[in-house]
Structure 1
Amino acid sequence: MDWGTAIKGFTSYLKLERGMAANSINAYISDLDKLQQFSVNEEVILTPDKIKLADLRRFLTWISELGMLPTSQARILSGVKSFYKYLLLEDEIKINPAELLESPKTRRKLPDVLSKTDVDNLINAIDLSKPDGARNKAILEILYSCGLRVSELTELRISNLYLEIEFIKVLGKGSKERLVPIGRPATKALEIWLNEVRVHISIKKGEEDFVFLNRRGSRLTRVYIFMLIKQLAETIGLKKKISPHTFRHSFATHLVEGGADLRAVQEMLGHESITTTEIYTHLDNDYLKSTIRQYHPRS
């Protein structure tokens, strides 16, 4: 079995049977390419069906020596394990060499979180006198109100807006749909964009249903959203390193700190596992200190 045939079959499996999105598939294949590169560098070129557990352990050492962080190593290993599960499923191998492979130990990093004041300042920094001001305000309001991933925002469609009942339908990872509540400030900003600004744009054919468009009538790119947020952070002098995902982290953290049920937050974020959502149970040190002082009998 050669690498090209194996990777092509794995790609079809991820797309058709696992229902993965294109970005996720590309990430898996990119990680698998590293294993292929390693196999070519060996004294005897290893094909996918000839690789053993010892080879995979050497591979992990190899990517570690390249300077990759443990989190990156763990992600690559996850892709490799999925690949060998696929080969076993297709009877291309009889024994899964990755089954006993241990993941590198990783520290769970707490995400950067915006304060409520930070969110207000970023939104207030948008110049509403400019043609794209109403759109950009709606973008930030929805990122924070609904906790969307940036790809979910750029793919948001008008046909999936149910503003009369304060919900939007989101297409998440693996093409999985979920309903997310939308707050009143976000609804108001969205309605202004849709009814007062977007209606005057000449829309490119095929893009009619996308909520957020540029001046040429095409849907916005992920890169534009990143650049918008970076620019606004510079405008208000915010020193934190932030991205669209920071709004998602802040959405979840503020809900949990306010007493929201973790299962409800999991559902709104579209997490498959509750353990992914549990990262948002962190609270800042000042809050913990004030809680101890207020409630502990010997504080």
Structure 2
Amino acid sequence: MTLALVPPSEGGKDARERLAEFLRIYASVNTRLAYATDLGIPLDWVPGYVAPDPGRRRGRRRAQPTGLAWLPWCLRNEFRSFAEVRVEHVERWLDELTRAGYGDSTRGRMLSAVSAFYRKYLIREGLAEHNPAALVDRKTQHLNRATGTPSTTARWSFEACRSLLLAAHLLADRSRDGRRDQAMVEILIGTGIRAEELVGTNLTDYRRLGPGDIGILRVHGKGAKDREVALTAPVADAVEAYFERRRPPAVPAVRGQVGLAPAEPLFVTSTGHRVHVSHVTALLRRLCATFAPDLTTEPPRARWLRDLLATSHAAFIATHLAPLRDSIHPHSARHSYATHAIERGVPPRQVQRDLGHAALSTTEGYLHDEDNIRNSGAHELSVALHRGWLTSSMS
């Protein structure tokens, strides 16, 4: 699909090989997929990507191609090479995205992907002389976001975080994978790691200093940067309770295979494969739907579940998870971790390290600090400004 735009190299590499070469700049397969989606590169061209079994996949599916990603758009507009593209063409593309209903944050991310494609690959390979995406006036396009501006991602209340942990705990022994799911929820909320990092951990990444002590989990973050996060005793206990039931099937040796065996995933499916990231979203939605079901759904048939939903614990969970039922997303766990930790006196620099952010300003953008609003000087100033003439609202 991109033969006209990405000509074969002198060494014989075709368009698919060239685009794969660009994507290999990024160590994480999830990062490669994100760039491929924004640029319009077919997912089966992404190095290391294995499509999940469509019969077993759960949770949110990837959006279907719209034809407005960068590469399809360039082909539709009959550009013969990337060297022909000028800044006015990029701005016209952004305008088309706006008319199609794309939000500013999505457009900004897609523009950044195009800029990286030019900066890190096309110019280096001599396929373009300049980066037109870098010349776009982001302010005029409403793509600028001030440093430290709070993110629009929803944050869970402290009670909602407790409700998710309690819900996973109450269901841990009620299904085959209940303990695995509880351990995943404990780590997600207790450390603030990304869903991709959670499912990307391996069995050898976990260790515990001793019985009843904290656990340590090595996380493989963005940009091939590893970090270690602390698992408090309850979180580590949940992981080890999962280990008691974790029975991945034996994988036979492959004829002719040499070298080290591939790393064994920490969290596995019933068939021994790595849990897919979509399962994390599906898990959170299932917890909400179980304890705060839609009023149109039928009552549960299982007697044990009807009895459970009649308890005070279930009532607490339902109160705080009902508002999240239709919109819950695992990335909110990171925002919740950052906000609640800083509200409880954890230094921002430590939260930055916990989350694996390169810059403190990124962490600051995660904060939803209602205390700053409640403690604002505006409250004191308003009393003085309105004293004597607006007494009804001051009482």
Q: TM-score, normalised by structure 1?
A: 0.86
Alignment of 1:270-289 (within 5 A): 270-284=356-370, 288-289=373-374
Residue aligning to 1:178: 227
Matched, 1:121 2:163: yes
By how many angstroms is 1:10 displaced? 4.4
More helix by share: 1
SS in 1 for 2:240: helix
Alignment of 1:23-34 (within 5 A): 23-33=30-40, 34=69
Check the 8 A contact 2:123/2:130 in 1, yes or no: yes
Q: Against the structure 1 CA distance between its residues 4 and 91, is the aligned structure 2 distance closer, same or farther, given a 3 Å change threshold?
A: closer
Matched, 1:134 2:179: yes
Residue aligning to 2:276: 221
By how many angstroms is 1:283 displaced? 1.2
Provide the rounded CA distance (Å) in 2 between the counterparts of 1:19 and 1:39: 24
Check the 8 A contact 1:122/1:236 in 2, yes or no: no
Query: Which one of the candidate residues 190, 201, 217 is aligned to 1:145?
Result: 190
Provide the rounded CA distance (Å) in 2 between the counterparts of 1:201 and 1:30: 32
Check the 8 A contact 2:215/2:231 in 1, yes or no: yes
Provide the rounded CA distance (Å) in 2 between the counterparts of 1:37 and 1:180: 41
SS in 1 for 2:218: strand
SS in 2 for 1:189: helix
Deviations along 1:213-255, one digit per CA (max 9) or x if unpaired, are 2222222112222111101012232212212222222112111
Bigger shift: residues 3-12 or 252-261: 3-12
Check the 8 A contact 2:5/2:80 in 1, yes or no: no
Amino acid paired to 2:332: T
Unaligned runs of 5+ in 1: none
Provide the rounded CA distance (Å) in 2 between the counterparts of 1:72 and 1:298: 38
Alignment of 1:51-200 (within 5 A): 51-85=85-119, 86-103=121-138, 104-106=141-143, 109-126=151-168, 127-130=171-174, 131-164=176-209, 166-194=215-243, 196-198=244-246, 200=247
Matched, 1:19 2:56: no
By how many angstroms is 1:292 displaced? 5.5
Check the 8 A contact 2:83/2:128 in 1, yes or no: yes
Residue aligning to 2:264: 209
Flag the structure with larger Rg.
Answer: 2
Amino acid paired to 2:155: V
Q: Against the structure 1 CA distance between its residues 179 and 36, is the aligned structure 2 distance closer, same or farther, given a 3 Å change threshold?
A: same
SS in 2 for 1:125: helix
Provide the rounded CA distance (Å) in 2 between the counterparts of 1:117 and 1:207: 40
Query: Which one of the candidate residues 83, 86, 89 is aligned to 1:49?
Result: 83
Check the 8 A contact 1:128/1:134 in 2, yes or no: yes
SS in 2 for 1:197: coil
Amino acid paired to 2:34: A
Provide the rounded CA distance (Å) in 1 between the counterparts of 2:382 and 2:108: 44
Q: Against the structure 1 CA distance between its residues 230 and 71, is the aligned structure 2 distance closer, same or farther, given a 3 Å change threshold?
A: same
Check the 8 A contact 1:252/1:280 in 2, yes or no: yes
By how many angstroms is 1:188 displaced? 0.9
Amino acid paired to 2:131: N
By how many angstroms is 1:45 displaced? 3.3
Q: Against the structure 1 CA distance between its residues 281 and 222, is the aligned structure 2 distance closer, same or farther, given a 3 Å change threshold?
A: closer
Q: Against the structure 1 CA distance between its residues 49 and 257, is the aligned structure 2 distance closer, same or farther, given a 3 Å change threshold?
A: same
Deviations along 1:145-173, one digit per CA (max 9) or x if unpaired, are 11111111112112111221632110112
Q: TM-score, normalised by structure 2?
A: 0.67
By how many angstroms is 1:80 displaced? 0.9
Q: Against the structure 1 CA distance between its residues 236 and 288, is the aligned structure 2 distance closer, same or farther, given a 3 Å change threshold?
A: farther
Bigger shift: residues 104-113 or 115-124: 104-113
SS in 2 for 1:60: helix
Unaligned runs of 5+ in 2: 8-14, 41-68, 253-260, 293-320, 384-395
Check the 8 A contact 1:156/1:210 in 2, yes or no: yes
Provide the rounded CA distance (Å) in 2 between the counterparts of 1:30 and 1:278: 28
